[in-house]
Amino acid sequence: MQRILFFIGKGGVGKSTLSAVTAVALAGQNKNIVLTSLDPAHNQSDLFQIPFSENPSTVLPNLQVIEIDADKWIRSYLKRAEEQFQAAYAYLTTFSLEKYFSVIRNAPGIEAYALMMAFEHICKKYIKADYLIFDMPPTALTLSFFALPGVSLLWLDKLLQLRKEIAEKEKIISTLRLGKKSLERDRVMQNINRQIEHWSELNTVLSADNFKAVVVRNSDVLSQAETARILTRLADLQIKSPFIFNNKVDGLEVGNSDFDFCRGENLIGLEKIKSYCLGLDVGRLQKILEWNI
């Protein structure tokens, strides 16, 4: 069964490095890997010294790497929304759509939504991969991303309840007026139900047993503190039992973790990453990442 890993953590702890190392290590064990950077400030191109893009690049025979263009996803989403809007509101010629959609581009939630659409696309396209590894943005955007399905479903449920009450009262009015119930379709309710179905599917993926968050931390105080906050927030979002990977370990005790990665010098380029993997207990790493589903 496919496993999905999200590498998360404070900025600079080594999420990109460890996601790249893990991808190369697992690919070396003949696993089929797709490594995707969802961080708008991509680092995978710098790590591998290969220019990556939305089109997958084959770095090793069973390792493909993708860097998502979040701006492109936002633009295409807003373009689709604008087209639907124009078709539905053709009579509103005085309403300036361009002005509103240029503002919406920077509205809260849009970037997280763009990443969610990209994530959905990757999951659908690479269903045969053994591992989908996601290099995530720093904490704030990542937590918004994880919270988005739950928050959307909460609001959609409220909107649906209100809409059902409106529909009930309209039925009563119609019965009083006409002596019979009218059978007009409520397109808004159908729309809400469609959205509930879509967000429920995404919620199911993020709470499935084959999905794991990997929290990367360093030994410094700030990283430890942020890791504690991340773990609390993940628990609130009901994201189960994340892995904890310690990075840049110098032999100092940093607390319980699932795996320790010692400090690597100048891990730039595929050969350096492969060389680093030779010093890893890849068997143990693989065992951890083949958790029971």
Contact residues for another protein, defined by CB under 8 A: 81, 84-85, 87-89, 92, 95, 100, 104, 107-110, 113, 148, 151-152, 155-156, 158-159, 162-163, 165-166, 169-170, 172-173, 176-177, 187-188, 190-192, 195
CB of 52 to another protein, least distance (A): 27
C-beta of 24 vs 156, nearer to another protein: 156
Q: How far is the CB of 180 from another protein (least distance, A)?
A: 15
Complete DSSP assignment for the chain? --EEEEEE-STTSSHHHHHHHHHHHHHTTT--EEEEE--SS--HHHHHTS---SS-EEEETTEEEEE--HHHHHHHHHHHHHHHHHHHTTT-TTS-HHHHHHHHTTSTTHHHHHHHHHHHHHHHHTTT-SEEEEE---HHHHHHHHHHHHHHHHHHHHHHHHHHHHHHHHHHHHHHHHSS------HHHHHHHHHHHHHHHHHHHHTSTTEEEEEEE-SSHHHHHHHHHHHHHHHHTT----EEEEEEE-S------SEEEE--S---SHHHHHHHHHTS-HHHHHHHTS---
Taking the C-alpha atoms of residue 122 and residue 208, their distance in angstroms, rounded to an integer, is: 17
Identify which of residues 77 and 243 has a Cβ nearer to another protein in the complex.
77
For another protein, the closer of residues 87 and 183 by Cβ is 87
Residue 146 Cβ vs another protein, minimum distance, rounded to whole Å: 13
Judged by beta carbon, residue 97 or residue 288, the one nearer another protein is 97
Residue closer to another protein, measured from CB, 170 or 260: 170
CB of 87 to another protein, least distance (A): 7
| Nearest distance, CB of residue 191 and another protein, angstroms | 4
What minimum distance in Å lies between the beta carbon of 109 and another protein? 5
Q: Which is nearer to another protein, 104 or 231 (CB)?
A: 104
